[in-house]
Chains A and B, each alone.
Chain A
């Protein structure tokens, strides 16, 4: 009934923790994590290695059971259900294709275990082979095909039983850069075509931003922030999130005044200077006198004159990147600041190292962080 409803919850993770070992060597791989993953969503768990993203995936798959907490799949408790009783399939990082079976036999394995009728199995296998463009290699052994092709077979094998949720554990990490870009587009297409909920684990922020409907950024067994790629990129709530995704400037500032509203704004002053500027305030920010302010390098603009500038500083270095140039500045209070601007042909503005310059930043692009 609610299958077509877009916002229905596919996976509900409620206060789940996973501890390994015992005191004094207790490792809290996951600590009190709660999350709702919607149906038909491309959801990404993003974080550095050891942040607990793979552990969370393995709990959802059923390879491990949580130390505490509860998990629901389509409103049914799956916390202690073995993996072979969950309508969840996994694309493994190592692919784990069965070496004694052919491509087609690998894909049909899950269907055979579900005791589907023979004609249905062969029809689904052909359908899956077509979906991942592998029709010609149907009868090959899995060690006779390339890494990219193995990746496709692993995908087809996991999609064939038409699970409610597909888990992908860093499936692109073993591919070279070009192949990886191609597979990113392919994965997104497969998700849209099949309408299956994808939960994707990666440490690659670019991968997360390009493919996901929503992203959960994880660190040290906790989920720090959940949001769309836009929200995560433009309005990170915590320093770790801002730092992990893209390049960031962090500057310390004094809070002069706070204006309530939605969103709340603050008037700030760069520590040690007189210049004030406005910024977005997060909802749950404590009322400290100082705050960390976050600005993306590409949201700042350089200008020759210091008049009317949000911040001022001295140019210390320039790094040319082809499409862009990074300008490294030392602000008046001594803090470092980077401005990234696109290179244009016939650009008249050629600053030199040692020049005193102004930096203009839109209020919308200045974000006060929670911590």
Chain B
């Protein structure tokens, strides 16, 4: 009897598993073809030979991967590290990191503010946060350009207020790119932190005050550690697209201050070197992967430390 029951149970679980697989099949198929497929093509292309007028020639070559990091002198064939590529990689990581940091500094208080409103007004604030998404990214970026150019709104008002005499040159600098990316990705920082903060039980704050913790200590020792998952999610959501940003550095960086995204675009366009573009794209993917592993290691280590 008992055996029969366990057999029936096993049968039931089997059937349930099958049902779950069937239900997730559409999403799995979409992911397989729409996400893994293009990625595999990109990886495959990075090992082919570039065609003369763009496109590829079906012939294996490791040349693209070599060119990601090294350059060969046209005259004497000496091989050296590709300064141009490395500096673009480094700038991309720096600017993305800076953007993430500024988004965190601006987004955290915003999320805290929204989460501490009465439930009815919270939705209004969230609604306001999502408004920028209604307009095309290109238009918004041009609007930023209009704001920060030498005769733009910001400089004109500062001059008319007498704070500065000469316009501050912001456009076509790294600063312009960071301002643009911060503006675009700030909601992606606010929303996950808000989600974590909304679930946060504010009685912990009272408990902290009760146990002699000042406002600063309550923030640092209680609120931040508990909502850390939200902060991590927000940081990843800002850092990853910043690293691959294309429109913002193109318009606000003026084509002088390239980021990885622009470099990749260049290979598929004017550069007519598709395999190199593909290799650069895969390299960016690896940088993101490394950053994520690094981040996970850090948060895991601090968790282990907590558990000891």
A contact residues vs B (CB 8 Å cutoff):
61-63, 82-85, 88-90, 92, 94, 96-102, 105, 109-110, 113-114, 139, 141, 157-158, 161
B207 contacts A96, C-beta separation under 8 Å: yes
Given A94-B203, A96-B201, A97-B207, 5 more pairs with CB closer than 8 A: A83-B206, A98-B208, A98-B226, A99-B204, A113-B214
* Least CB distance, A230 to chain B, in whole angstroms: 33
A100 contacts B226, C-beta separation under 8 Å: yes
Which of B210, B212, B222 has the most A CB atoms < 10 Å from its CB? B210
With A and B bound together, what is the CA distance between A113 and B217 in angstroms? 8
B211 contacts A161, C-beta separation under 8 Å: yes
B209 contacts A98, C-beta separation under 8 Å: no
Q: Which of A84, A99, A100, A139 is within 8 Å of B209, CB to CB?
A: A84
A89 contacts B222, C-beta separation under 8 Å: no
* Least CB distance, A254 to chain B, in whole angstroms: 54
B212 contacts A161, C-beta separation under 8 Å: yes
Please give, as numbers and ranges, the residues of chain A lying within 8 Å of B2 by CB-CB distance. none
A139 contacts B201, C-beta separation under 8 Å: no
Q: Determine whether B59 belongs to the interface, using a CB cutoff of 8 Å to chain A.
A: no
Please give, as numbers and ranges, the residues of chain B lying within 8 Å of A63 by CB-CB distance. 206, 209-210
Q: Could you give 24 example pairs across A and B, Cβ below 8 Å?
A: A82-B209, A83-B206, A84-B209, A84-B210, A84-B211, A84-B213, A90-B206, A94-B203, A98-B207, A98-B208, A99-B204, A100-B225, A100-B306, A101-B306, A102-B306, A105-B306, A109-B211, A110-B212, A113-B213, A113-B214, A113-B217, A139-B307, A141-B307, A158-B210
Q: Which of B208, B214, B226, B307 is within 8 Å of A99, CB to CB?
A: B226
B contact residues vs A (CB 8 Å cutoff):
201, 203-204, 206-214, 217, 221-222, 225-226, 306-308
Please name the residue on chain A nearest to B222 by beta carbon: A98
With A and B bound together, what is the CA distance between A138 and B191 in angstroms? 36
A84 contacts B204, C-beta separation under 8 Å: no
A89 contacts B210, C-beta separation under 8 Å: yes
With A and B bound together, what is the CA distance between A113 and B207 in angstroms? 12
Please give, as numbers and ranges, the residues of chain B lying within 8 Å of A94 by CB-CB distance. 201, 203
Indicate whether A96 sits within 8 Å of B307 (C-beta atoms), given known contacts A84-B212, A109-B211, A161-B211.
Answer: no
Please give, as numbers and ranges, the residues of chain A lying within 8 Å of B211 by CB-CB distance. 84, 89, 109-110, 113, 157-158, 161
With A and B bound together, what is the CA distance between A67 and B275 in angstroms? 74
Please give, as numbers and ranges, the residues of chain B lying within 8 Å of A105 by CB-CB distance. 306
Indicate whether A96 sits within 8 Å of B203 (C-beta atoms), given known contacts A139-B308, A141-B307.
Answer: yes
Please name the residue on chain B nearest to A110 by beta carbon: B211
Please name the residue on chain B nearest to A63 by beta carbon: B206
With A and B bound together, what is the CA distance between A62 and B307 in angstroms? 32
Please give, as numbers and ranges, the residues of chain A lying within 8 Å of B209 by CB-CB distance. 62-63, 82-84
With A and B bound together, what is the CA distance between A161 and B212 in angstroms? 9
Please give, as numbers and ranges, the residues of chain A lying within 8 Å of B207 by CB-CB distance. 90, 92, 96-98
Please give, as numbers and ranges, the residues of chain B lying within 8 Å of A89 by CB-CB distance. 210-211
Please give, as numbers and ranges, the residues of chain A lying within 8 Å of B204 by CB-CB distance. 96, 98-99
* Least CB distance, A100 to chain B, in whole angstroms: 5
With A and B bound together, what is the CA distance between A251 and B307 in angstroms? 63
With A and B bound together, what is the CA distance between A105 and B306 in angstroms? 9
* Least CB distance, A251 to chain B, in whole angstroms: 46
With A and B bound together, what is the CA distance between A175 and B221 in angstroms? 29
Please give, as numbers and ranges, the residues of chain A lying within 8 Å of B201 by CB-CB distance. 94, 96
With A and B bound together, what is the CA distance between A83 and B209 in angstroms? 6
Please give, as numbers and ranges, the residues of chain B lying within 8 Å of A139 by CB-CB distance. 307-308
* Least CB distance, A29 to chain B, in whole angstroms: 17
* Least CB distance, A234 to chain B, in whole angstroms: 37
Please name the residue on chain B nearest to A85 by beta carbon: B212
With A and B bound together, what is the CA distance between A105 and B211 in angstroms? 12
Indicate whether A90 sits within 8 Å of B212 (C-beta atoms), given known contacts A139-B308, A141-B307.
Answer: no
Please give, as numbers and ranges, the residues of chain A lying within 8 Å of B222 by CB-CB distance. 98
With A and B bound together, what is the CA distance between A157 and B204 in angstroms? 13
Please name the residue on chain A nearest to B226 by beta carbon: A100
* Least CB distance, B206 to chain A, in whole angstroms: 6
Indicate whether A61 sits within 8 Å of B217 (C-beta atoms), given known contacts A96-B203, A99-B226, A100-B226.
Answer: no
With A and B bound together, what is the CA distance between A99 and B196 in angstroms? 14
Please name the residue on chain B nearest to A83 by beta carbon: B209
Return the 5 tightest CB-CB contacts between A and B, nearest first: A110-B211, A113-B212, A96-B207, A83-B209, A96-B203
Please give, as numbers and ranges, the residues of chain B lying within 8 Å of A62 by CB-CB distance. 209
With A and B bound together, what is the CA distance between A105 and B201 in angstroms? 19
Please name the residue on chain B nearest to A100 by beta carbon: B225
Please give, as numbers and ranges, the residues of chain A lying within 8 Å of B213 by CB-CB distance. 84, 109, 113
Please name the residue on chain B nearest to A90 by beta carbon: B210
* Least CB distance, B230 to chain A, in whole angstroms: 13
With A and B bound together, what is the CA distance between A306 and B68 in angstroms? 112
* Least CB distance, B198 to chain A, in whole angstroms: 16
* Least CB distance, B161 to chain A, in whole angstroms: 39
Please give, as numbers and ranges, the residues of chain B lying within 8 Å of A98 by CB-CB distance. 204, 207-208, 222, 226
A61 contacts B210, C-beta separation under 8 Å: yes
With A and B bound together, what is the CA distance between A141 and B222 in angstroms? 15
* Least CB distance, B47 to chain A, in whole angstroms: 47
B308 contacts A96, C-beta separation under 8 Å: no
Please give, as numbers and ranges, the residues of chain B lying within 8 Å of A92 by CB-CB distance. 203, 206-207
With A and B bound together, what is the CA distance between A321 and B212 in angstroms? 50
* Least CB distance, B207 to chain A, in whole angstroms: 4
With A and B bound together, what is the CA distance between A348 and B226 in angstroms? 68
With A and B bound together, what is the CA distance between A54 and B207 in angstroms? 15
Please give, as numbers and ranges, the residues of chain A lying within 8 Å of B306 by CB-CB distance. 100-102, 105
* Least CB distance, B208 to chain A, in whole angstroms: 8
* Least CB distance, B243 to chain A, in whole angstroms: 30
Please give, as numbers and ranges, the residues of chain A lying within 8 Å of B225 by CB-CB distance. 100
